[in-house]
Structure 1
Amino acid sequence: MELFTTYAWIIWGALMLLFVIVEVATVEFTFLMLAVGSLAGLVTDLVGGPFWLQVLVAAVVALLLLFTVRPPLLRALKRGGDPTPSNLDALLGIRGEVLLPLTSTAVGAGPLGQVKLANGETWTARLLAADGTPTLDPGTAVVVTAIEGSTAVVVPAERI
């Protein structure tokens, strides 16, 4: 135990360094709060507090920061994000026009049609025919409801 009390400042410094390195890699503010708790333990050591008090102070400060300071920091970090959907999420709800006739056959059960989406992309497509619509002819307006692999699942635009 004397080893801990003699070299406690080195232990606290090493913990702070380790927590900061992990925080830089994760950017979720958990390890930053632990690093500040370690700093509180180091300050307690420097003013002459016993090792058990150093650990207690470090734990209390870290927990207080985790539950009081971390949530607002996370909200501030995420506030400036771009809410615009991207990748496949951006295709959901986009309108298009049928190029090749669409049928409501199951995946792999028959030929698929094609649609040209409003963003200019051409996709193979399958009709989601919940209401019994058997086919859609070229020129019919559709809306993408899902993406299954490389196939757009569409419904007639008037149903939306």
Structure 2
Amino acid sequence: MDWLRDHTWEAWLGASILLGVAEIIGFDLILLMLALGALAGMVAALVGLPVVAQVLVASGASVAALALVRPSIVRRLHGGPDLKVGHVKLVGQQGLVTETVSSMAPGRIKLSGEVWSAVPYDERLTIEPGSTVEVLEIRGATAYVHPVAALEP
């Protein structure tokens, strides 16, 4: 028992390593926070605090890590840009009118290397070939477009 009392920091380090290895299997970040608490207990043991104080320091550090650190890490790991798939990724892009686009007769635009049928978003407009348009919406296989203002030299 004297050996354990003299080497409590090593026991805390061992517990921290075991918790860290177990975290690799589950990856919930809970055991990692407990491992951080065990490291705090190891520091308390190295300072020379009694075992009860070491347990309190380790517990407090674990609870603090679970409450303060883990949520932001989980948010960062699970967050990220939204993946746009299919025709949704074309909304907001610009295309080139290849056939006159009007509400009476759908025209054609070249968009991302593909030819799409298109109608103007504003039904009163007629868009001539060669004009640049922005895709505001796609319904089925038809792009609803609006002309992009060209800068005059």
TM-score calculated relative to the size of structure 1? 0.48
Match of 1:57 in 2: 57
Match of 2:39 in 1: 39
Unaligned runs of 5+ in 2: 86-153
TM-superposed CA distance for 1:11, in Å, is 0.9
**Cα shift readout 1:75-112 (whole Å, capped 9, x = no counterpart):** 11111376679xxxxxxxxxxxxxxxxxxxxxxxxxxx
- Pair member with larger Rg: 2
Which amino acid letter does the alignment assign opposite residue 55 of structure 1? V
Distance 1:43 1:4 in 2: 16
Query: Over the residues paired in the alignment, what is the CA RMSD in angstroms?
Result: 2.0
Contact 1:4 1:51 in 2 (8 A): no
Aligned residue pair count: 85
Match of 2:30 in 1: 30
CA spacing shift, 1:63–1:78, aligned 2, 3 Å = same
Which amino acid letter does the alignment assign opposite residue 43 of structure 1? V
Distance 2:68 2:4 in 1: 30
CA spacing shift, 1:3–1:75, aligned 2, 3 Å = same
TM-superposed CA distance for 1:31, in Å, is 0.8
Which amino acid letter does the alignment assign opposite residue 49 of structure 1? L
TM-score calculated relative to the size of structure 2? 0.50
Give the ranges of 4+ consecutive aligned residues of structure 1 lying more than 2 Å apart after TM superposition: 1-4, 80-85
Unaligned runs of 5+ in 1: 86-160
Distance 1:81 1:29 in 2: 22
Distance 1:81 1:31 in 2: 28
Distance 1:71 1:83 in 2: 23
Map 1:6-155 → 2, pairs under 5 A:
6-80=6-80
CA spacing shift, 1:19–1:84, aligned 2, 3 Å = farther
Distance 1:83 1:10 in 2: 47
Task: Give the % identical residues.
Answer: 36
Contact 1:5 1:50 in 2 (8 A): no
CA spacing shift, 1:84–1:6, aligned 2, 3 Å = farther
Which amino acid letter does the alignment assign opposite residue 58 of structure 2? A
Distance 1:4 1:51 in 2: 11
CA spacing shift, 1:4–1:81, aligned 2, 3 Å = farther
CA spacing shift, 1:78–1:8, aligned 2, 3 Å = same
Contact 1:44 1:54 in 2 (8 A): yes
Contact 1:23 1:29 in 2 (8 A): yes
